[in-house]
Structure 1
Amino acid sequence: MIILASVLLPMALSLLAYPLAKRSSYLAGYLSAGALIPLLALSAYVVFSGNPLSEGSFHTFDLLAFRIIPFNGVFIFTVALVGALVALYSSPYMEHRAHELGGDTAIFYLTYGFFVGGLAGAFAAANLIMVYVFIEVALIASLFQILYYGYGDRVRITIMYLVWSHVGALLVLAGFVLLYLKGVYYVPLLIDSGPLGADSVAFLLILLGSLVKMAALGVHMWLPYVHAEAPTPLSALLSPVLVGIGGYLIAATAMYVLPEAGWTRWLVYYAIATAIYGGLMAFLQKDLKRLFAYSTVSQMGYLLLGVALFNPFGYTAAALLYLSHGLGKAVLFMTAGYFIMHLHTRDVEKMGGLYGWRPELAGAAVVGFLNLAGILSVGMISEITLTVSFAKYFGTEYLAYIPYAVVLLVTGIYAFNTIRVVFFGPPRREDKGPVDLALVALVVTALISLLLFLPPLSTSLVDNVYNTVVGAGLWR
């Protein structure tokens, strides 16, 4: 039961982190990060070796069936890696936030392990009902973090998050129940089931619920508020560690009951529209966290596009996009939190010339944006794979490449414009930002995203995910 134990360990140690946090947020942060090491090691082994791990019987109705293959292993690896680094980052940030609120950080660290453990469990669980249970664990834990440590009208934002998240989750659950009634108890992608036959109702329920969770165009309204007002360590995990689970659910379940091939073309157009809209809205924002929130909407368009292209390259790109966006956006939200702690602002118009204030911070933030733009980072690997998938889907329909080019252009515009406005231009400060654990954590996160771009890590990552996807049975 090594997979289950690795998932439950962060939750169990959160109970110990609670009293530790009353003494020191640093002790609680170290414990929360250390609790994710077994999960990180397990997922890294699967992703980079290509050897799947399974436990449970997978017969009839086994709630304790878990399986990690390179495809869902990338999602788990991202949760564990980003979760551990954000836990370290959170120590000085949450100490600062608790001082502002006149309280302590105990509730944050009590819920932290349940949040990341719940997300990892949702990706690792093979039984559909257990996928839903773990999603609920993560959602409830994050609700308390916003309620206790958020900004602005925390109660209103928490209720908004509660309603939207559970609408999405319950739609997905309804789709799962329909699959159960057909005798489908396990995540189809994890058991190489092959197509299950068309089921329009189950497909639509899972699709709509997942789109709500992804904050795709039209059902995205909740995300800018929640991301902007959540405590920044949670923001770094919400995007895309939580919202990206919608893409996984569509890829691993909904597409196995696809009613007809025409649906994929409409999903492709919708994904492109989501990516363009999110990018344009990001460009218009003056609040740095809201900018990053709309950037998440755009990046979820990328991830949805990979799934909607409905070929092995697209699925591979979707997994890699989750990883690259997870690392890149974690760096950027941690950068915003560093500004909140030491500049006491997140207003882009009050920034400028900050490269000289803290060059390491500027360099890490640039790397974060490179991940989103797909340049010289693991983001480049994901974007190249996505482009190959797009070319295989549309072939010689050259007009279709124009909106895809617009997606890439919009991402580059808001990314490099933000870099220009925040870090360059006339310097506004003569002092230096402090070197603390938060800065170290975000710089390390940026360096890892560069390291994963280099062979042999990048080649084994792509090859193992692609080979697993090809063998998953969906394209037989």
Structure 2
Amino acid sequence: MTILASLLLPMALSLAAYVAAKRSPYIAGYISAAALLPLLAISSAVAFGGGTVAEGAMDGFNLLSFKVTPFNGVFLLTVALVGVFVALYSPPYMEHRGHELGRDTSIFYLTYGFFLGGLAGAFAAANLITVYIFIEVALVASLFQILYYGYGDRVRISVMYLVWSHVGALLMLAGFLLLYLRGVYYVPLLSGVAPGVDQAAFLLILVGSLIKMAALGVHMWLPYVHAEAPTPLSALLSPVLVGVGGYIIAAVGMYLVPPGWERWVVYYALATAVYGGLMAYLQKDLKRLFAYSTVSQMGYMLLGVSLKNAYGYTAVALLYLSHGLGKAVLFMTAGYLIMHLHTRDLEKMGGLYGWRPELAGASVVGFLNLAGVLTIGMISEILLTVAYASYFRSNYVYYIPYALMLVVTGVYAFNTTRLVFFGPHRYEGKGPIDIALASITAVAFISVLFLLPPFSSALADNIYNTARELGLWR
């Protein structure tokens, strides 16, 4: 039961981290990071090496069946990799936040392993009900983090998060139960069994997943939650948590979609991406800017899923990875600025390149991931473009909104870089070099490293070959 053990270990060691945090958040952070290493090893072996790891027969009502393929393995890799570095980043931030609130950080570390274990379980579980259970574990764990360590009106934000997230999860569960009534108990992408068209189940799973993704029209909760959550959690909410919705659509929803309906999802995805990018450009609060950026990036992910071809599915997995790494860098950067400059207001920033050049360089790389330039994000965006062209072919009018989506992303990304790190210097001295800064730069470096062969070629080839075998387009 290697997969199950790797999912439960972070939860089990959360108890040790809870005790350790009462003495030192640094020890708690190291325990939380180490607990994710087995999951990182399994997901890396599958994502880069190919092959499949499975446990438990997909027969009857077996709730303890798990399967890791290169497709969902990349999602697991993102959860584990980002989780390790956010755990290492968190001690100075949580120490700072704990002093502000007058409480220790033990609840954060108690819930951290449950949050990451729950997210990873949602990607690795083969039984539909088990997927839902793991999603709920992650939801409850993250809820306590916002309630104890958030900003602003933490209670109101926590209730908003609870309501929206539960509505999305329960709609997904209703769709799963409809499939159960038809004798479909397992995630089609992992079981290899296509259940066929089901309009009601598709709509329930689609709408529930769109709420989890914070797509256009059901995105209202995300800017509030991202802006007011403690920054280590913000770095994991986007896209590690919200991307679960995209995975569910890819792994379940697109096996149920009635013919022709995916075209409307394509249009909706483009609208979500453009809207999120425009709203990001208008923000003055750095964390709210990153939140709307997540809305835009979820539009990218939804677009890749709805194109219903192997290139699109490959792009989706790599988008999740690139966005996870890039947004982790950016949210951790925001936390670093909150700790040491006590602001997240863009109008109070400027010239920070001289204050901490390493931070500026890492942040530029974070934005490059979103824009699809010189990082693993470039591979995902190239594949998304190929998938889009394969879908629309010579209908060139449809290339206009796609180009607009790319332009809007580039504009808000590089405009934010200009406002924060260049222009007149507003702060004297230098920011400290600590484990938080080291974690930020390490994640940025990894996102560039993954662009290079053999990393990018292994990831893309393994995911593409897996997608070709799904049987979704036959």
Q: TM-score, normalised by structure 1?
A: 0.99
**AA aligned opposite 1:54:** A
Post-superposition CA distance 1:188-211 (Å, at most 9, x none): 001122x32211000000000000
Alignment of 1:108-127 (within 5 A): 108-127=108-127
Q: State the 1:248 CA deviation.
A: 0.3
**Residue of 358, 373, 398 corresponding to 1:400:** 398
Shift of 1:99: 0.5
Determine the structure 2 residue equivalent to 1:233.
232
How far apart are residue 259 of structure 1 and its match?
A: 1.6
Q: 1:61-105, CA deviations, whole angstroms, 9 ceiling, x for partnerless residues? A: 111000000000000000000000000000110000000000100
Counterpart of 1:66, as a letter, is: F
Q: What amino acid sits opposite 1:203 in the alignment?
A: F
Give the partner amino acid of 1:209.
Answer: G
Q: Distance in 1 between matches of 2:444 and 2:403?
A: 26
Question: Take 1:330 and 1:314, find their aligned partners in 2: how far apart are those partners?
Answer: 23
Alignment partners' CA distance in 2, 1:473 and 1:180: 21
What CA distance in whole angstroms lies between the structure 1 residues aligned with 2:206 and 2:35?
33
* One-letter amino acid matched to 1:234: L
| Residue 6 (structure 1) aligned with residue 12 (structure 2) | no
Map of 1:150 onto structure 2: 150
1:380 deviates by 0.2
User: Is 1:207 aligned to 2:206, yes or no?
Assistant: yes
- What secondary structure sits across from 1:426 in the alignment? coil
Aligned counterpart for 2:418 among listed residues 420, 425, 428: 420
2:90 aligned partner, one-letter code: S
Partners of 1:197 and 1:457 in 2: CA distance: 35
Name the amino acid aligned to 2:281: F
1:307-340 residue CA offsets vs partner (Å, 9 max, x unmatched): 0111111011011000000000000000000000
In structure 2, distance between residues paired with 1:104 and 1:271: 42
Could you tell me which runs of 5 or more consecutive residues in structure 2 were left unpaired when the two chains were aligned: none
Secondary structure of 1:326's counterpart equals helix
Match for residue 250 of structure 1? 249
Residue type at the aligned position of 1:429: Y
- Corresponding residue for residue 471 of structure 1: 469
**SS class of match (1:54):** strand
| Counterpart residue identity of residue 292, structure 2 | Y
RMSD value, Cα: 0.5
Task: Specify the SS of the correspondent of 2:267.
Answer: helix
CA–CA distance in 1 between the matches of 2:191 and 2:46? Answer: 16
Q: Is the 8 A contact 2:316 2:380 kept in 1?
A: yes
CA contact (8 A) 2:21 2:28 kept: yes
Contact in 2 for aligned 1:191/1:472 (Cα 8 Å): no
* Pairing 1:203-352 to 2, within 5 Å after superposition: 203-260=202-259, 262-352=260-350
> Within 1, Cα distance between the matches of 2:387 and 2:73?
21
SS of the residue corresponding to residue 216 of structure 2 reads: coil
Aligned-pair CA distance for 1:139 = 0.1
Amino acid at match of 1:319: A
* Counterpart Cα distance in 2 of 1:197 and 1:186: 14
Aligned partner of 1:167 in structure 2 is 167
Q: Is the 8 A contact 1:215 1:222 kept in 2?
A: yes
2:442 is aligned with 1:444: yes
Partner SS state of residue 354, structure 2? coil
SS at match of 1:183: coil
Partner of 2:56: 56
Distance 1:34 1:442 in 2: 18
How far 1:51 moved relative to its partner? Answer: 1.1
Amino acid at match of 2:70: P
* Distance (whole Å) between structure 2 residues aligned to residue 403 and residue 124 of structure 1: 34
* Cα separation, 1, equivalents of 2:424 and 2:257: 54
Give the 3-state SS of the residue equivalent to 1:286 in structure 2: coil
- DSSP-derived class of the 2:44 partner: helix
Could you state the TM-score of these two structures normalised by the residue count of structure 2?
1.00
What letter is aligned with 2:195? Answer: L
Secondary structure at the residue paired with 1:40? helix
Aligned mates of 1:38, 1:453 — CA distance in 2:
24
Looking at structure 1, the residues matched to 452 and 36 of structure 2 have their Cα atoms a distance apart, in angstroms, of: 24
Shift of 1:430: 2.0
Task: Provide Cα deviations, 1:431-461, integer angstroms capped at 9, x if missing partner.
Answer: 1000011000000000000000000000000
Identity %: 75
Q: CA deviation at 1:257?
A: 1.0
The alpha-carbon deviation at position 36 of structure 1 amounts to 0.2
CA contact (8 A) 2:308 2:472 kept: no
Q: Which residue of 1 aligns with 2:379?
A: 381
Cα distance between partner residues in 2 of 1:70 and 1:240: 19
1:390: which partner in 2? 388
CA distance in 1, matches of 2:336, 2:35: 24
- Residue deviations 1:119-147 (CA, integer Å, cap 9, x gap): 00000000000000000000000000000
What SS class does the counterpart of residue 161 from structure 2 fall into? Answer: helix
How many equivalent pairs are there? 474
SS at match of 2:54: strand
What's the CA shift string for 1:391-427, capped at 9, x where partnerless? Answer: 0000000000000000000000000000001000011
Residue 3 (structure 1) shift: 0.1
Give a deviation string over 1:11-34, Cα, whole Å, max 9, x none: 000011111000000000000000
User: Could you tell me which of 437, 455, 458 is aligned with 2:456?
Assistant: 458
SS in 1 for 2:67: strand
Q: Distance in 1 between matches of 2:340 and 2:8?
A: 35
Aligned position for 2:356: 358
